[in-house]
């Protein structure tokens, strides 16, 4: 009788174990096919265990049910405090659910249990970054000390230093990243940005041109290239870059139109340059002083002084304190006014307004003296 009972127990156990394995196997197949809800139902048929609960949690995550997954992982981490992979999964789920305070606590526990896991410190850095905590960079650095090839942590340290314009500190980490992958566009972009902010425009162009050749195109990259070309007086290249910005990214950006116009004027294509500046003016709803002065100067260079005078009057309506506009107004009038007395009045207005410390005072004083002599001789006749 006892032998018979033992055999029955063994058979029952084997059958139960087989059913458990079958439920898990069916659940795994359903999960692999993306049928997560049915997978959960199958997993729940199996006796509760660490593996079974983890499978249910992962299925909930695949369905976007983060809260259900968090509850399961929390209970498992309490039951199995030494299971580091399980705890890491729990912390990661908390982070992805934007429960940063709770995630930080679990990752800190992981760091105490295993100081050699670089990803733990990387995630602590990500959390600190989300919480605008200044310890972020130190956690990222710790990750790079533990694993010198942790490219994501290296990138974060480099990026944070570039953002704070600590270019010397950033340089070493950028070079480490490029040593791991010389064609890494994210590290090349940081290198190009650093050069640009340091006004090393040639290096910025060389680096960001490589980024573009690698297939990475963004508005910021082309905007920096356009500005860098313009700063080096490479107007043809600058014009090409601004054409890309206007045609592919934002044709209503007044800055792009304005700078395109200035570059075309640098190539002495005044008519097209003026057209772009005028477009910028039509888009802007703020002070247009600079744009009007730019147009006025371009017309003066073409010896179209009456047009220049008109735009200078508009510039002064925008900003009557503009020293350059007041002086250029007198110069423009000097070139087409017939009445020297009216021209003299404009020069004197400038001198009265800005005094002897005015940038153009000497020029205005010299010309005023000449005009007074002309008027004197005219009166003498």
How far, in Å, CA of 177 to CA of 149, rounded? Answer: 8
Looking at residue 11, what is its pLDDT? 36
How far, in Å, CA of 231 to CA of 127, rounded? Answer: 39
Which one-letter DSSP state was computed for residue 259? H
Question: Angle 305-318/323-336 helices, nearest 10 degrees?
Answer: 150
Closest CA to 350 of 332, 334, 330: 330
What residues in the chain have per-residue pLDDT under 50?
1, 5-16
Looking at residue 310, what is its pLDDT? 93
Specify the domain boundaries for CATH 1.25.40.10 within the chain.
148-214, 217-284
Closest CA to 315 of 276, 288, 335: 288
Q: Which fold has domain 148-214?
A: 1.25.40
Looking at residue 53, what is its pLDDT? 77
Closest CA to 260 of 222, 299, 296: 222
Say if residues 160 and 139 touch (Cβ distance below 8 Å).
no
Q: Which residues contact 309 (CB under 8 A, 6 or more apart)?
A: 296, 329, 332, 333, 336
How far, in Å, CA of 345 to CA of 355, rounded? Answer: 15
For the entire predicted model, the pTM comes to 0.73
- Phi and psi based region of residue 189 (left: phi greater than 0; alpha: psi -120 to 50; beta: remaining): alpha
How far, in Å, CA of 197 to CA of 165, rounded? Answer: 8
Q: How far lies 167's CA from each of 32, 179, 201, 209, 317, in Å?
A: 47, 18, 15, 20, 42
Direct distance between the N- and C-terminal alpha carbons of the chain, in angstroms, rounded to an integer: 149
Say if residues 57 and 73 touch (Cβ distance below 8 Å).
yes
Q: How far lies 150's CA from each of 153, 155, 176, 180, in Å?
A: 6, 9, 10, 10
Looking at residue 375, what is its pLDDT? 84
Closest CA to 313 of 325, 304, 303, 323: 325
Closest CA to 299 of 261, 326, 349, 350: 261
Q: Measure CA 204 to chain center.
A: 16
Q: Which fold has domain 217-284?
A: 1.25.40
């Amino acid at each position: 009788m006892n032998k018979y009972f033992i055999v029955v127990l063994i058979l029952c156990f084997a059958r139960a174990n087989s059913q458990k394995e079958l439920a898990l196997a069916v659940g795994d197949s359903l999960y692999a096919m993306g049928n997560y809800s049915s997978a959960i139902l199958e997993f729940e048929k199996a006796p509760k265990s660490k593996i079974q609960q983890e499978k249910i949690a992962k299925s909930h995550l695949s369905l976007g049910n983060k809260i259900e997954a968090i509850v399961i992982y929390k209970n498992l981490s309490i039951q199995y405090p030494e299971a580091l992979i399980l705890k890491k999964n729990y912390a990661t789920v908390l982070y992805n659910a934007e429960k940063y305070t709770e995630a930080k606590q679990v990752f800190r526990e992981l760091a105490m249990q295993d100081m050699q896991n670089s990803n733990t410190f990387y995630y602590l850095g990500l959390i600190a970054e989300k919480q605008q905590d200044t310890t972020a960079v130190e956690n990222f650095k710790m990750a790079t000390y533990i694993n010198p090839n942790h490219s994501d942590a290296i990138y974060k340290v480099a990026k944070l230093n570039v953002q704070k314009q600590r270019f010397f500190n950033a340089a070493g980490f950028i070079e480490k990243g490029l040593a791991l992958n010389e064609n890494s566009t994210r590290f090349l972009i940081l290198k190009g940005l650093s050069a640009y902010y340091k006004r090393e425009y040639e290096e910025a162009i060389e680096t960001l041109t490589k980024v573009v050749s690698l297939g990475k195109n963004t508005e910021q990259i082309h905007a920096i290239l356009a500005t860098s070309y313009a700063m080096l007086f490479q107007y043809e290249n600058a014009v090409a870059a601004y054409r890309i910005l206007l045609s592919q990214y934002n044709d209503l950006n007044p800055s792009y139109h304005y700078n395109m116009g200035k570059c075309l004027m640098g190539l002495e294509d005044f008519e097209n340059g003026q057209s772009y500046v005028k477009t910028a003016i039509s888009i802007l709803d703020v002070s247009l002083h600079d744009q009007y002065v730019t147009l006025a100067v371009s017309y003066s260079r073409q010896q179209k002084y009456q047009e220049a005078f008109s735009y200078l009057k508009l510039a002064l309506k925008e900003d009557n304190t503009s020293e350059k506009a007041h002086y250029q107004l007198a110069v423009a009038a000097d070139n087409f006014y017939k009445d020297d007395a009216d021209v003299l009045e404009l020069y004197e207005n400038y001198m009265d307004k800005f005094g002897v410390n005015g940038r153009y005072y000497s020029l205005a004083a010299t010309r005023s003296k000449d005009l007074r002599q002309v008027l004197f001789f005219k009166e003498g006749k």
